[in-house]
Amino acid sequence: MSRPGAASSHVVYGVLGGGLIGYWSVAYLDGGNGIQEERWNGTLEQIFATPTRLWVILLGKITGGLLFGLLAFLPTAAIAYLGFHAVLPNLDPGRFAISLGILTFSFFCIALTLTPLFALWRWAFSMLNGFELGVYILCGFMFPVAVLAPWAQGVAALLAPTWAVRALYASTLSGGPRDFVVWWLATIGLSLAYLAGAYFLYALVERKARISGQLALA
Amino acid sequence: MAAQPAIEARQLRKTYTTTRGIFRRERVERAALRGVDLKIAPGELFGLLGPNGAGKTTMVKIFTTLLLPSSGSALVLGLDAVKEQWALRKRIGFVFGGERGLYWRLSGIDNLRYFADLYRIPPDVSRRRISELLERLDLSGRERDRVELYSRGMKQRLHLARGLLNDPEVLFLDEPTIGLDPVGARELRVIVRELADAGKTVFLTTHYMFEADAICDRIAVIRDGAIVAEGTPSSIKTVVRDQGIVEFEVVGMPVERLAGLRRLPGVTSVAISEHELAQVVTVHCARPAEVMTQLGVILDGINLEKVSSREPTLEDAYVQLIGDSQ
């Protein structure tokens, strides 16, 4: 690895990558696990039948997950930072903070969109890990998206965190493209598109759940 | 029934559709409700009786907006349970039997606070109501303990407290006393009766005939998704009005001997159940005295014990109505 004071991109990926994986993992899994736990507790039907919309209930759960995820990110990044004896001389704190905030928003939108699927389809829970790992690779948590195959880069471009992660890394490195506003807007735009899809998805899930009765364990 | 019914079902049907197989997927349909018509007056304590799989829980879930019917209509307080679920959910409460349905790692009071928020009850109202419910359901003093430390009876009372948080006009109770010890079950029945006396409409499903007989104003018996009898407990008993019941215990009786009993004049049904090593035989018949005199002849050589004759109960009427599906 590089000597302290001269962090190269692979050191930065090492420092931040672990934290990002921890953040995404907790934020994303918390929603899916939360729904599964509600089903096992027998409380999924109870909360579904209250006058509060399912998305509002999940919003609270997902926000809690994001908070725990953020708590996972900071110490993981700190440990990696200290472990590598690395410093980030080119860190732009302002852009880093904005990128992290926008990344958080994208995680929130993905979790809010995907979580109702776990309420409806029990088999969706078994896909949980696959999607979690896919995002690590496709969104460039551990290495730049540019090293992926062209088709994978195409898929990555449709995932909102890809652009926020790119901005996050760029805010710690000198040189290379610096299109922060474009990346931030791409993240926000894609996240809002997910939310628009979620609007219809929630209506579908609520109707399907009432037809199939799949909110109960048995 | 002049006033608008509190609960009404019109030709209510529900068919569950599932698929099986991976490559050649096959649709499997199972009818849970087959055109149920029902009217329940405001303030009535109505009991729905039926064996497992008869459609009791499906009906409760449709009325509580958790399920959509395949056809027909379900109205509660004049609101359509299919289309007006948001308005309806504020005005009804429900309790499902069993220990699940609570957050075990939270305290009892935190469970109630959480659901009070989901029912959008203003904080000052919820504080007062939670305190009243804890007191009324004998949970005061233990409300800050985690639910995992509660006895089954306490959990069920907490369920009921949750179901009453929004002060519902109609309360649905799906087998609320299941698994409770006799004292706990009796306490819960007293509370349910008090709720009905206070003006709440209560829709109760149960397996226990004596429970329905003791507290319900009116009952219906459901079998294979259809109502087969409806009325007051005493009117339901008229199904077996002209009958008496002869019961006796035997050990190791060959089943073919039952055929002789069934052939006796006036015998309408013969049921047999295991009780430890013995078999308990229940004979529904028009003339119990004649059956008792014939018993010695038909069961010659078999040791008869505890032979008795009694008046029919609601359970006997239920068994008669449910017949072989039980």
Give tens-digit pLDDT for B302-322: 888 888 888 777 877 887 777
Q: Are residues B219 and B284 in the same domain?
A: no
Considering the domain boundaries, does residue A108 fall inside one? yes
Mutate to test the interface with B, among A210, A214, A215, A217 (most CBs of B within 10 A): A210
Q: Are residues B208 and B62 in the same domain?
A: yes
Across the interface, do A43 and B103 touch by the CB < 8 Å criterion? yes
Across the A:B interface, residue pairs with CB atoms under 8 Å apart total 57
Across the interface, do A41 and B103 touch by the CB < 8 Å criterion? yes
Considering the domain boundaries, does residue B43 fall inside one? yes
Q: Are residues B225 and B275 in the same domain?
A: no
Considering the domain boundaries, does residue A1 fall inside one? no
Considering the domain boundaries, does residue A2 fall inside one? no
Question: Which range marks the domain in which residue A43 is found?
Answer: 9-212
Considering the domain boundaries, does residue A217 fall inside one? no
Q: Are residues B63 and B175 in the same domain?
A: yes
Considering the domain boundaries, does residue B313 fall inside one? yes
Considering the domain boundaries, does residue A20 fall inside one? yes
Q: Are residues B321 and B258 in the same domain?
A: yes
Considering the domain boundaries, does residue B277 fall inside one? yes
Q: How far apart are CA A77 and CA A10, in angstroms?
A: 14
Average pLDDT of the segment spanning B157-173 = 94
Assign A7 a pLDDT band (cuts: 50, 70, 90): low
Q: Are residues B129 and B266 in the same domain?
A: no
Residue B324 has pLDDT above 60, yes or no: no
Do B238 and B49 contact (CB within 8 A), yes or no? no
Closest partner residue to B101 (CB to CB) among A46, A57, A210 is A46
Give tens-digit pLDDT for A57-78: 888 888 888 888 888 787 776 7
Share of chain B above pLDDT 90, in %: 50
Across the interface, do A210 and B67 touch by the CB < 8 Å criterion? yes
Considering the domain boundaries, does residue B186 fall inside one? no
How many folded domains does chain A comprise? 1
A45 CB near a chain B CB, below 8 Å?
A: yes
Give tens-digit pLDDT for A133-143: 888 889 998 88
Q: Are residues B155 and B50 in the same domain?
A: no
With a cut of 0.85, is the ipTM above it?
A: no
Residue A35 sits at the vertex; the CA angle it makes with A29 and A41, to the nearest 5 degrees, is 125
Mutate to test the interface with A, among B67, B105, B174 (most CBs of A within 10 A): B67
How many folded domains does chain B comprise? 3
Nearest to B311 by CA among B284, B293, B292, B291: B284
Considering the domain boundaries, does residue B188 fall inside one? no
- Give the C-alpha distances (Å, rounded to integers) separating B2 from B42, B74, B164, B235, B246: 11, 19, 27, 21, 43
Chain A nearest CA to B115, separation (Å): 8
User: What pTM does this model have?
Assistant: 0.82
Considering the domain boundaries, does residue B56 fall inside one? yes
Q: Are residues B10 and B116 in the same domain?
A: no
Give tens-digit pLDDT for A142-154: 888 888 999 999 9
Which residues, in sequence order, are CB contacts of B133 under 8 Å at separation 6+?
B112, B139, B161, B164, B165
Residue B41 has pLDDT above 60, yes or no: yes
Q: Are residues B162 and B295 in the same domain?
A: no
Average pLDDT of the segment spanning A41-70 = 88
Considering the domain boundaries, does residue A140 fall inside one? yes
Identify the pLDDT of residue B326: 43
Chain B nearest CA to A52, separation (Å): 6
The residue of chain B with its CA nearest to that of A211 is B68
Chain A nearest CA to B62, separation (Å): 9
Q: Are residues B160 and B175 in the same domain?
A: no
Ramachandran area for residue A175 (φ above 0: left; ψ -120 to 50: alpha; else beta) = left
Chain A nearest CA to B12, separation (Å): 14
Please report how the helices B108-118 and B123-136 are oriented relative to each other, as an axis angle in degrees rounded to 10: 140
Q: Are residues B87 and B198 in the same domain?
A: yes
Q: Which of A34-38, A108-112, B241-245 has the highest mean pLDDT?
A: A108-112
Please report, for the domain that includes residue B18, its CATH number. Answer: 3.40.50.300
Q: Are residues B137 and B279 in the same domain?
A: no
Q: What is the mean pLDDT of chain B?
A: 88
Output the CA torsion B107→B113→B114→B120 (10° steps): 170
Assign A217 a pLDDT band (cuts: 50, 70, 90): low
Please report, for the domain that includes residue B273, its CATH number. Answer: 3.30.70.260
Question: Which range marks the domain in which residue B109 is found?
Answer: 100-167
The residue of chain A with its CA nearest to that of B163 is A46
Closest partner residue to B100 (CB to CB) among A42, A47, A49 is A42
Across the interface, do B118 and A57 touch by the CB < 8 Å criterion? yes
